[in-house]
């Protein structure tokens, strides 16, 4: 009684109302509108059952953007974490300039995705871009590609941009995790004559399981939601080769096919919910094993 | 032994500096191109400009609506940050201190907001119903709604560390719930408030997805959106576009370098506890 008077629910209300009204309500409405033919052409909203979802899954040209989205999330998540871990292990030790280097590697995280996407458009330019120039300069000219002009490559090139942007974020989380490893563990391992690889596998990685969990969760979530990097870099092109769910939704919004776009939003919602619950299950199990 | 160790460290350090070029080169490219003439900047390379054209920046300032869009960005980002911090800290404080089953569920609901996506199309409908589409108020409230889950999470972790004895002694001194929070607790939250302020401000400043969906009138656009528009108009003048991007980048990097400590502590808040 006393607690509920001192810590009044009224304090929760403003935040909850904002979040509920402008975030949760649209999501809940999405479940209804995804079952309708809601569009910009007519005021009549008619219930059509699962037709929108049927359309998503029966049109083979749609498999591309679903595949792209899942692939993007998977590949970028792994690379961000692995590169982030490598950077963290390197910059955790006694380098003179480690603080400056940490600042540099984290910098892309704070640069706007739009600017990053537009810069990389130039870097990837097949004739004038510095990526191909660099490959020619080191004698690997044979590897130079039409990075975003080739339908097969475009989505992979956009993954490269995403990894460039967020590996530093993973690094910072791992650096925080490395502070939690007790020094005595390394001393004990040294006495036992463990080499660097043993120490990494037997001491460092088990202690980093929570950091790995957080990183992978955040990477997968942001990977599935990707929009702006691809919008700025390829806009889904060439054709629809590098389209992802959020970009398709934006295009449907522009076309005025709201019901169908909303159904795709619901699909993304389901992907995120299922995949995050799955990840939590996998990681909590491995934590028990490690502990 | 120690000399060999120094040697290895030196090699590692040199290697890391080489790797850092992957980050630094694109930025250097942008700076170089912003002072070239149109013909030279058509090839976005690392070649030094034959002459420095600092007037590119003047051109951008003159016809790029920089001042107005800077004002818009400042307005939207400041209001969003303040609303987000005030509402989130109050909510987190009560949810941490009074752990009823209901409050637990509400907190979990906030955390769900960290995972699931926004449904943009139905959000448009909600904004239309509230007559908030294409308004500053609408976009500020929408950003706040999106940032609240993360900010609640940040404050929630911090309030747990403020001893409850403080509350008790404040109550003995005659504080009610409101004055306890605003006079005692909120001032103690300063480190998290600064962290939340910087992170939300940067996220808001950098975002262009919400304006793309919900702001149709270019007079309300912030800097990033205006720059994107500039880019589509002057796509053949990469020197001007680079200058416009650089004008966008400078405030962001300025805030980053000054507030780095806070940004990183906020980002790692959840990771350390596991």
Sign of CA dihedral A160, A166, A170, A175: positive
Q: Is A111 left (phi over 0), alpha (psi -120 to 50) or beta?
A: beta
Whether the predicted pLDDT of B141 surpasses 60:
yes
The confidence score (pLDDT) of residue A133 equals 85
Average pLDDT across chain A, whole number: 91
Quickly state the pLDDT bin for A6 (edges 50, 70, 90). confident
A229, A22, B213, A230 alpha-carbon torsion, rounded to 10°: 10
Read off the pLDDT of residues B142-176 as tens digits, 9 standing for 90 and up.
Answer: 999 999 999 999 999 899 889 999 999 999 998 88
Residues of B in contact with A129 (CB under 8 A): 44
The confidence score (pLDDT) of residue A190 equals 86
Average pLDDT across chain B, whole number: 89
The confidence score (pLDDT) of residue B85 equals 97
Decide if B118 contacts A264 (C-beta within 8 A). no
Residue A210, C-beta contacts closer than 8 angstroms, at least 6 positions apart: A177, A287, B271, B273, B274
- Record the tokens describing residue B164, joined without a space: 């409850």
Read off the pLDDT of residues B190-218 as tens digits, 9 standing for 90 and up.
Answer: 999 999 999 999 999 999 999 999 999 88
Residues of B in contact with A108 (CB under 8 A): 23
Read off the pLDDT of residues A126-183 as tens digits, 9 standing for 90 and up.
Answer: 888 889 888 888 888 888 888 999 999 999 999 999 999 999 999 999 999 998 888 8
Quickly state the pLDDT bin for B115 (edges 50, 70, 90). very high
> A126: closest CA among A108, A109, A143, A145?
A145
Cβ of A114 within 8 Å of Cβ of B208? The answer is yes
Residues of A in contact with B110 (CB under 8 A): 15-16, 19
Most confident of A175-189, A241-255, A270-284, B246-260: A241-255
The confidence score (pLDDT) of residue A283 equals 82
Whether the predicted pLDDT of B128 surpasses 50:
yes
The confidence score (pLDDT) of residue B121 equals 95
Quickly state the pLDDT bin for B270 (edges 50, 70, 90). low
Whether the predicted pLDDT of A290 surpasses 60:
no
Whether the predicted pLDDT of A291 surpasses 70:
no
Report the range of poorest mean pLDDT among A173-177, A242-246, A284-288: A284-288
- Record the tokens describing residue A140, joined without a space: 């690997």
CB atoms within 10 A of CB B28: 12
For testing the chain B interface, which of A69, A88, A115 should be mutated: the one with the most B CBs within 10 Å? A115
Whether the predicted pLDDT of B271 surpasses 60:
no
The confidence score (pLDDT) of residue A137 equals 86
- Record the tokens describing residue B217, joined without a space: 């009138």
Residues of A in contact with B253 (CB under 8 A): 107, 110-111
d(CA A39, CA A52): 12
Which residue has better confidence, A117 or A194? Answer: A117
Q: Is B123's Cβ below 8 Å from some Cβ in A?
A: yes
Most confident of A266-270, B32-36, B56-60, B161-165: A266-270
d(CA B160, CA B178): 18
Whether the predicted pLDDT of B36 surpasses 90:
no
The confidence score (pLDDT) of residue B2 equals 63
> Region B102-108: what's the mean pLDDT?
95
Report the range of poorest mean pLDDT among A36-45, A247-256, B68-77: A36-45
Q: What is the CA radius of gyration of chain B?
A: 24
Quickly state the pLDDT bin for B38 (edges 50, 70, 90). confident
Read off the pLDDT of residues A66-97 as tens digits, 9 standing for 90 and up.
Answer: 999 999 999 999 999 999 999 999 998 778 88
Read off the pLDDT of residues B43-76 as tens digits, 9 standing for 90 and up.
Answer: 767 777 777 888 888 888 887 788 899 999 999 9
How far apart are the CA of A245 and the nearest CA of chain B, in angstroms?
11
Beta bridge partners of A36: A47
d(CA B176, CA B93): 14
For testing the chain A interface, which of B32, B77, B271 should be mutated: the one with the most A CBs within 10 Å? B271
Whether the predicted pLDDT of B274 surpasses 50:
no
> Region B3-30: what's the mean pLDDT?
88
- Alpha carbons within 13 A on the beta-carbon side of B81: 20
> Region A226-243: what's the mean pLDDT?
93
Claim: this prediction has a pTM higher than 0.95: no
Count of positions (residues) in chain B:
274
The confidence score (pLDDT) of residue A19 equals 98
Residues of B in contact with A122 (CB under 8 A): 29, 44, 238
């Amino acid at each position: 009684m006393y607690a509920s008077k001192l810590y009044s629910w009224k304090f929760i209300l403003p935040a909850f109302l904002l979040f509920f009204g402008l975030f949760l309500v649209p999501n809940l409405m999405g479940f209804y509108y995804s079952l309708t033919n809601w569009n910009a052409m007519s005021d009549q909203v008619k219930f059509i059952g699962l037709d929108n979802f049927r359309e998503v899954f029966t049109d083979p040209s749609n498999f591309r953007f679903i595949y792209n989205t899942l692939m993007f999330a998977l590949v970028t998540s792994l690379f961000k974490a692995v590169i982030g871990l490598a950077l963290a292990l390197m910059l955790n030790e006694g380098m003179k300039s480690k603080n400056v280097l940490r600042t540099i590697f984290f910098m892309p995280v704070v640069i706007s995705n739009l600017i990053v996407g537009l810069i990389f458009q130039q870097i990837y330019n097949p004739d004038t871009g510095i990526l191909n120039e660099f490959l020619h300069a080191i004698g690997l000219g044979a590897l130079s590609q039409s990075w975003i002009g080739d339908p097969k490559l475009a989505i992979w090139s956009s993954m490269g941009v995403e990894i460039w942007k967020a590996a530093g974020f993973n690094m910072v989380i791992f650096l925080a995790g490395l502070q939690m490893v007790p020094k005595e563990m390394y001393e004990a391992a040294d006495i036992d004559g463990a080499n660097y690889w043993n120490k990494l596998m037997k001491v460092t990685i088990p202690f980093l399981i929570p950091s790995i969990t957080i990183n992978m969760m955040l990477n997968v979530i942001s990977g599935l939601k990707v929009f702006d990097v691809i919008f700025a870099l390829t806009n889904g092109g060439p054709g629809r080769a590098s389209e992802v769910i959020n970009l398709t939704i934006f295009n449907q919004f522009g076309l005025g096919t709201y019901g169908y776009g909303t159904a795709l939003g619901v699909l993304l919602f389901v992907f995120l919910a299922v995949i995050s619950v799955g990840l939590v299950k996998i990681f909590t199990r491995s934590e028990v094993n490690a502990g | 032994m120690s000399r060999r160790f120094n040697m290895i460290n030196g090699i590692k350090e040199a290697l890391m500096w080489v790797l850092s070029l992957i980050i630094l080169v694109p930025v250097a490219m942008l700076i170089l191109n912003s002072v070239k003439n149109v013909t030279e900047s058509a090839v976005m390379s690392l070649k030094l400009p034959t002459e420095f054209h600092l007037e590119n920046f003047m051109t951008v300032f003159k016809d790029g609506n920089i001042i107005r869009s800077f004002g818009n960005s400042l307005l939207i980002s400041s209001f969003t940050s303040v609303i987000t911090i005030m509402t989130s800290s109050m909510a987190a404080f009560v949810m941490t201190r009074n752990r009823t089953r209901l409050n637990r569920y509400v907190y979990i609901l906030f955390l769900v907001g960290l995972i699931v996506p926004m449904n943009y199309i139905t959000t448009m409908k909600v904004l239309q119903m509230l007559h908030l589409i294409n308004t500053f108020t609408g976009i500020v409230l929408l950003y706040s709604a999106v940032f609240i889950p993360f900010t609640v999470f940040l404050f929630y972790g911090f309030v747990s560390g403020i001893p409850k004895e403080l509350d008790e002694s404040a109550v003995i001194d005659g504080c009610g719930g409101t004055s306890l929070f605003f006079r005692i607790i909120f001032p103690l939250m300063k480190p998290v408030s600064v962290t939340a302020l910087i992170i939300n401000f940067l996220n808001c400043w950098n975002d262009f997805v919400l304006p793309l969906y919900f702001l149709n009138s270019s007079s309300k656009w912030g800097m990033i959106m205006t720059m994107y528009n500039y880019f589509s108009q002057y796509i053949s003048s990469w020197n001007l576009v680079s200058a416009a991007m650089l004008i966008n980048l400078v405030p962001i990097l300025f805030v980053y370098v000054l507030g780095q400590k806070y940004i990183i502590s906020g980002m790692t808040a959840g990771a350390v506890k596991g």
